[in-house]
Amino acid sequence: MNTLKSESVGQLANGFRGKNDSTGIVEEQFEDLLGKYSGLKLRWQEGHPVVKGRLSFKALYDGRSVKDWYDIEMLLPAKYPCLPPRVREIGNKISRDIDYHVSEDGILCLGADLAVLERFYERADLLWFVDELVVPHLASCTWRRNGEAVPWEQLRHKGEGLLEFYKDRFGTDDNFTALRLLKVLVDHNYKGHTLCPCESGIKLRHCHGDVLKDASKYPVVFSREYCHIFELLKDDIEDIGPYVPRSIRLRGMRRRRVKGR
Amino acid sequence: MCYAHLFSHLLEFRTDDGLFFDNLRGLIMPNSDQSANIEGVFTKISDELDISEAHYEDAVAKYEAVGRWLDANDSPLHVHMPRIYAQGSFRLGTVVKPLSGKDEYDIDLVCHLEIDKKNISQEELRNMVGDRLKAHKDYKRMVEGGRRCWTLHYADAFHMDILPAIPDYEKMKDSIWITDKQLRAWQPSNPKGYARWFREQMKGMFAQHRQLLAGSLKANVEDVPEWKVKAPLQRAIQILKRHRDIHFEQDKDDQPVSIIITTLAGHAYAEEDNICDALVNLVDKMPNHILVRNCEYWVPNPTNPEENFADKWNEYPARREKFLAWLAKAGRDFEEALELGSPKRITEVLQGVLGDVGNLTDEQTFATTTADERDEYPEVRISRPVSQWLSWKK
């Protein structure tokens, strides 16, 4: 899936983290973006960069093509480019229906946080972000609006979709195995010499170690996604003790909700 | 674009006045936004020239009412199955707002009666339709007879020309015979066939713009009425017609008729996907479609090759020369506008040659019509789509 070596991801993140001011990077990247998508404008709102305007595109996938435009607003976080922008559709062209993967306030759900970050970090660039993540999403919206099938696999919503994603990522068919493996990431608790949570009886470093270490390089708040999956599976868990993330256990069971980003 | 960094400091202390920076960027980046801007200006102009949706729907409702009156059970015309349908620019989607506020939209209609030519004279047909209109308590005050048609003057912003017609069974589908007071013979016509020909000239773009409109209205393509769709050819013709109105304002006699402009434009149009390119191409190529037959200039009716829309040009040769001179002038005007930098100057120049076409300088014009109408759709090859789902909140 992701071809970038984990070291370079770390370097990238650390390199950017060192800079307090991302103004130069944003402007430089925006110029490249404008070179392709001329309908966009860079504005600064309360000190935060916002890319706003009309995104027109002709998307090609597997012999099919779709041509459309959307009015969008990309909110670049203070930590940009350590974190990718959030994208909002402001033209009300997309239905706020769950099937369009757009929230009520128009924020596009581009995919699982981990998947989005992995893709974004391959270049950590605005143009890359739009080409790789935003346009495919908008193209799928257009297909759906036209009543056509989206030509690639669409995961289900919330917990179910996330569970599918992590089961695929960890190479397991078992819901609870995926949850236990994800908990290692939530707890920031990777210990190579312990037995792997997948119950293979092998040490973690020789079993699911690599995939967990790779994922932990990204600044994803796994606890948020973990909560969605946990919510889905909790009724089937006999003893929820081992499934409660450390951070939550420390704060007490009553405050189980983890605030989203 | 390369000068942008010189102005980048402006970004730091200016956070709200976006327009200022946009204009500034307009000045220093002539190739990115400007072409989009001018397309926006042209789109806005053609919107301004067009009949409004409300007027359109009102007009349709009114002529349908006329149709019902003619076809009422107690109407003498009832046995001839009268049908009313639109023709001309109203049917083609190339209506242009009259130059002065006093003028009214001119809506051309055909009143079709199923009568064989052998069984009726031109005068009888005219009178049949006229008498029935005069039998109506309102229409009798509004109706006025003309050379070829009956005109209904509405208090609102339009009048309707109702052209009595009977079918011509010998020619192609939808051919009709129409009356003419000044001529002894029936005149052939085929407005529906002409409209089909015109639509055929812009088939691809029309379908594409209909699709786009359907997308923005969140409707099925089939549910978008064709009259709501405006393809670049239609918009370009509207702008050309307005340019003609201004150019020949003091010389109405020699003004080229719309059907010549529309026919030549239909021939010259090469499926350009934006108004700018379409206009530049049209003014360049339209003269090539004026034919010469037997030492006469011809602009044949596409649905009836025997009919010459430009027969007057052979009677008054100056009209053809004036037509060509006007087309060349229009070409220069549009190219001058295209070469300008700022939206403000473009608007100034276009308002000079197109007259008052509404307020074109508001930011909205440039914000909402940039890449869309210009059809600037950068290509993105999707190779590894990230599967999506909803995960941002519970």
Q: Provide ipTM, 2 decimals.
A: 0.79
Q: In this complex, do B386 and A115 lie within 8 Å of one another by their Cβ atoms?
A: yes
- Residue B102 and residue B222: Cα distance in Å, rounded? 37
Joined together, the tokens standing for residue B225 give 């009425």
Q: Name the more confident of B127 and B17.
A: B127
Q: Cβ separation of B390 and A44 shorter than 8 Å? A: no
Which residues on chain B place their C-beta less than 8 Å from a C-beta of chain A?
1, 4-5, 8, 11-12, 15, 18, 22, 32-33, 36, 208, 211-212, 215-216, 218, 220, 367-368, 370-372, 376-394
What's the rounded mean pLDDT across residues A102-116?
81
- Which residue among B8, B32, B391 sits closest to A161, beta carbon to beta carbon? B391
Which structure tokens are listed for B26?
Answer: 């307009």
Q: Do residues B148 and B179 make contact, with C-beta atoms less than 8 angstroms apart?
A: yes
Residue B3 has pLDDT above 50, yes or no: no
Question: Tens digits of per-residue pLDDT, A137-187?
Answer: 999 888 888 888 888 777 777 678 888 888 888 888 898 899 999 988 888
pLDDT at site B265: 95
- B102: pLDDT strictly greater than 60: no
pLDDT for B337 beyond 80? no
Confidence band (pLDDT; 50, 70, 90) for B344?
Answer: low
| B386 with A68: Cβ contact below 8 A | no
Least confidently predicted of A220-229, B78-87, B269-278 = A220-229
Q: Which residues neighbour A20 within 8 Å (Cβ) at sequence distance 6 or greater?
A: none
A69 touches chain B (CB under 8 A): yes
A 219-258 residues inside an 8 A Cβ radius of B: 224-225, 227-228, 231
Q: How confident is the model at residue B240 (pLDDT cuts 50, 70, 90)?
A: very high
Q: Per mean pLDDT, which range of B134-138, B181-185, B244-248 is the poorest?
A: B181-185
Q: How buried is A210 (Cβ within 10 angstroms: 0-12 exposed, 13-18 middle, 19+ buried)?
A: exposed
Q: Which of B94, B70, B36, B72 is nearest to B230 (CA)?
A: B94
Q: How far is A237 from chain B (nearest CA, A)?
A: 20
Looking at chain A from residue 148 to 187, which residues have their Cβ under 8 Å from any Cβ of chain B?
Answer: 152-158, 160-162, 165
Task: Give the bridge partners for B379, in sequence order.
Answer: A58
Locate the chain A residue with the closest alpha carbon to B35. A38
Distance CA B26, CA B37 (A): 9
Cβ-based contacts of B379 with chain A (< 8 Å): 57-60
Count of all residues that appear for chain B in the document? 394
Query: Confidence band (pLDDT; 50, 70, 90) for B10?
Result: very low
Band of the pLDDT at A110, cuts 50, 70, 90?
confident
The pLDDT value given to residue B187 = 85
A85, two tokens: 């922008």
| Interacting residues of A84 by C-beta distance below 8 A, sequence separation 6+ | A77, A116, A117, A120, A129, A133
Task: List helix spans (H) across A70-221.
Answer: 113-121, 126-129, 135-145, 158-170, 175-186, 209-215
Any idea which of A3-12, A212-221, B121-130, B237-246 has the lowest mean pLDDT? A3-12
Mean pLDDT of B58-78: 89
- Mind listing the pLDDT tens digit for each residue in B273-332? 888 889 989 998 999 999 988 888 999 999 888 888 998 898 888 999 999 999 998 888
Per CB-CB distance under 8 Å, the chain B contacts of A107 are 392
For A57, which of B36, B378, B389 is closest by C-beta distance?
Answer: B378
Q: What is the rounded distance in angstroms from the CA atom of residue B276 to the CA atom of residue B297?
A: 29
Question: Helix, strand or coil for residue A124?
Answer: coil
Tokens of A59: 């998307």
Among chain A residues, the shortest Cα distance to B380 is held by A59
Q: How confident is the model at residue B103 (pLDDT cuts 50, 70, 90)?
A: low
Average pLDDT over residues A245-260: 58
Q: Do B370 and A137 touch (CB under 8 A)?
A: no
Least confident window among A177-191, B22-36, B252-266, B281-295: B22-36
Residues in chain A: 261
pLDDT exceeding 70 applies to what percent of chain B?
81
Contact A110 B388 (CB under 8 A): yes
Model confidence at B6: pLDDT above 60: no
Cα–Cα distance measured from residue B81 to residue A176, given in angstroms and rounded to the nearest whole number: 76
Among the listed ranges A108-117, A242-251, B80-89, B102-111, which one has the minimum average pLDDT value? A242-251
Residues 6+ apart with CB under 8 A from A164: A155, A156
A32 contact B CB<8A: no
A154 vs B contacts (CB less than 8 Å): 387-389
Chains A, B: CB contacts within 8 A come to 161
State both tokens at A25. 């990077």
Q: Would you call A36 an interface residue with chain B, using a CB distance cutoff of 8 Å?
A: yes
Give the best-scoring range by mean pLDDT among A12-16, A99-103, A150-154, A230-234: A230-234
Angle at B328 between CA B323 and CA B332, to 5 degrees: 145
- pLDDT tens sequence across A189-227: 888 888 898 888 889 889 998 888 888 888 777 888 888
Burial class (CB in 10 A: 0-12, 13-18, 19+), B60: middle
Grouping H, G, I as helix, E, B as strand and the rest as coil, residue A22 is coil
Is residue B392 scored above 50 in pLDDT? no
B contacts of A161 (beta carbons < 8 Å): 387, 389-391
Q: Is the dihedral of CA B316, B318, B320, B326 positive or negative?
A: negative
Give the residue with greater pLDDT, A248 vs B183: B183
Residue B240's Cβ-side half-sphere holds a number of Cα atoms within 13 Å equal to: 34
Least CB-CB distance to B377: which of A34, A67, A260? A67
Q: What is the mean pLDDT of residues B136-159?
A: 85
Residue A75 tokens read as 């909110």
Contacts of B387 in chain A (CB under 8 A): 111-112, 115, 152-155, 161, 165
Contacting A residues, span 100-159, partner chain B, CB-CB under 8 Å: 101, 103, 107, 109-113, 115-116, 119, 131-133, 135-137, 139-140, 142, 145-147, 152-158
Question: Is the Cβ of A75 closer than 8 Å to some Cβ of chain B?
Answer: no
Q: Residue A59's beta-bridge partner residues?
A: A66, B380
pLDDT value for B35: 59
- The pLDDT score that the predictor gives to residue A133 is 92
**DSSP E strands: which ranges in chain A?**
40-45, 48-61, 64-75, 86-89
Question: Is the CB of A38 less than 8 angstroms away from the CB of B36?
Answer: yes
For range B150-168, the mean pLDDT: 87
CA-atom Rg of chain B in angstroms: 25
Rounded to an integer, what is the distance from CA B299 to the centroid of its chain? 19
Q: What's the mean per-residue pLDDT of chain B?
A: 79
Tell if the pTM clears 0.80, that is, is over it: no
Closest CA to B25 of A28, A52, A42: A42
- Span B36-52, average pLDDT: 80
**Interchain CB contact of A44 with B (< 8 Å):** yes
For residue A97, count CB atoms less than 10 angstroms from its CB and return exposed for 0-12, middle for 13-18, buried for 19 or more.
exposed
Which one is predicted more confidently, B23 or A42? A42
B354/B11: higher pLDDT: B354
Give the SS3 label for residue A71. Answer: strand
